Chain A
């Protein structure tokens, strides 16, 4: 090749490479812009909630609204704890949400594994039956459920707060879909090697489920942390109250203390935010399949 054509070829490649780089940077910029817009829309209102938590009541309801409080009312947070036994509510919520989450994750992953991987008569019918329990609004179940829980003697007890919240088709459905999408190689290899189904479940499937269990764990914890209607119905004394009931205490017959509602909601969101931070690594743990044969 002559020198001229070589240089021309090199220039062409270099120009092409620069163009590719510019396209990549362009793409990246677009992605960052989208991410920023999404951030403003999704996180913006929450920042406004936090700023409202630090305003006085008049400022919260002021129209036009102000972005930042004139002077931050840190006292709102202590007011929340003084006006209602908010610390107790936080503790109750933590207890209920944690127990329900842990027990649910175990039970649901077992049921989902059974529905996804094992064969037995009636399996599909059972799955649809389980799914159909999601189709009746809780509003309507609440009265018969309360009667049943009363018959069990669990009204106004932690049992009543915790146990009825454990069975939930949502978790079973999610995990079943997840297990359906797992490649079977690992499990089949283990079975060929003589492992029992329970061992396969415990030693292979469960560890592989970490991302989805994390996702589901967050969901259950949050759903129970933010639960309002059932705790309202099943408890008679405020010793057992949970966070959302506590927040509702600031809505009054005549006027609500909105700044305290915002402060209490901010406080209530903190533990779950913490939980999310801790768990989110697990969510994106890829399943390392490169070690598999075939």
Chain B
């Protein structure tokens, strides 16, 4: 017991171990909870409230109850947007995970110029997604962008990367991957530092090869980090917006209209803030359900 009883006085509840845990536990949460409550939770509740209205933003609000949600069920365009989002997420998340993990391992090998490579791999993240999109917009030009010039060197025909329904989404995935692997690499790197060298040394002495060391030491000990990278990239992929906005405006023919792009259009181009809020509440529920599933499947408490 950490508390020292004072002779002749009843022990204050906050001096007990349990009390300490509660006091510090809640106390440490307080600044962020207040901040999140005022600047995130309250707006979310605001959006929820708006979803029961018909509101253009510039005019008056009109209560329409569940009408927006009913309309939603008939909205084929929203279903299409969800489908595009699902495809994007299913491709993006595993690729981001594996590429950034591979880069982290690569950079952790103690090669010469490691610091230089590390900075280079992280550099794309320093440019905003909007500017990255502009950059790649130029490079993916057809017929004479940089990418087409390069594949021309090996004899492949120039492709309409952003101008065809087939390739547009893939091109956008390339842009977001390019921008994001550097940061996830850093997170994996930080996680890799936690793994004590002694484990590796012991395993090598026992004759374990590189693959075995990776599978039985690195992967398990990276579990909390892996969960983070996986879950965060999942949540962010489901809400991807910027590249579509800059590069394709949701086209061609809706091939890159993701859920949030559709919501943005509905809110700020069609001026239907109420309907857009309803759409985002539905998206929120979808994300929440799948995230909870992931948390359950990859449940990690601190390992011993």
Answer whether A and B touch in the complex at a CB cut-off of 8 Å: yes
Interface residues of A (CB under 8 A from B): 28, 31-32, 34-35, 38-39, 41-43, 45-46, 48-49, 52, 60-61, 63-65, 107-108, 110-111, 113-116, 118-121, 123, 126, 128, 130-137, 139-145, 147-148, 163-164, 166-167, 169-170, 172-174, 177-178, 180-182, 184, 191, 194, 196-198, 201, 211-212, 214-215, 218-219, 222, 226, 228, 244, 247-248, 258, 261-262, 265, 268-269, 272-273, 276-277, 280, 283-287, 289-290
In the complex, identify which listed stretch (B65-73, B90-98, B125-133, B247-255) lies at the interface while the others stay far away. Answer: B125-133
B302 touches A181 (CB 8 A): yes
Nearest B residue (CB) for A32:
B111
Binding site for A on B (CB under 8 A): 2, 20-22, 24-29, 31-33, 35-36, 38-47, 50, 57, 103, 106-109, 111, 115, 117-132, 134-136, 138-139, 141, 143-146, 149, 178, 181-183, 186-187, 189-191, 193-194, 196-198, 221, 223-225, 227-228, 231-232, 235, 239, 241, 260, 263-264, 267-268, 273, 276-277, 280, 283-284, 287-288, 291-292, 295, 300-303
A182 and B21 in contact, given A43-B120, A63-B144, A140-B47 (Cβ under 8 angstroms): no
CB pair B42 A144 closer than 8 Å:
yes
Q: Which residues on B sit within 8 Å (CB–CB) of A120?
A: 21-22, 25-26
Q: Write out the residue numbers on chain B whose beta carbons fall within 8 Å of the beta carbon of A128.
A: 292, 295
Contact check, A177 vs B225: say whether CB atoms are below 8 A apart. Answer: yes
Contact A39 B241 (CB under 8 A): no
Q: List 18 A-B contacts (CB under 8 A).
A: A32-B111, A35-B117, A42-B178, A43-B123, A65-B145, A65-B146, A114-B29, A132-B291, A136-B284, A144-B43, A144-B46, A167-B39, A174-B232, A177-B300, A180-B301, A191-B2, A261-B134, A284-B193
CA distance A60 to B302 in the complex (A): 52
Residues on the A chain within 8 Å of B267, using CB = 139-140, 143
Docked Cα-Cα span, A142 to B264, in Å, equals 11
A residues near B268, Cβ cutoff 8 Å: 139
Chain A residues within an 8 Å CB radius of B288: 132, 135
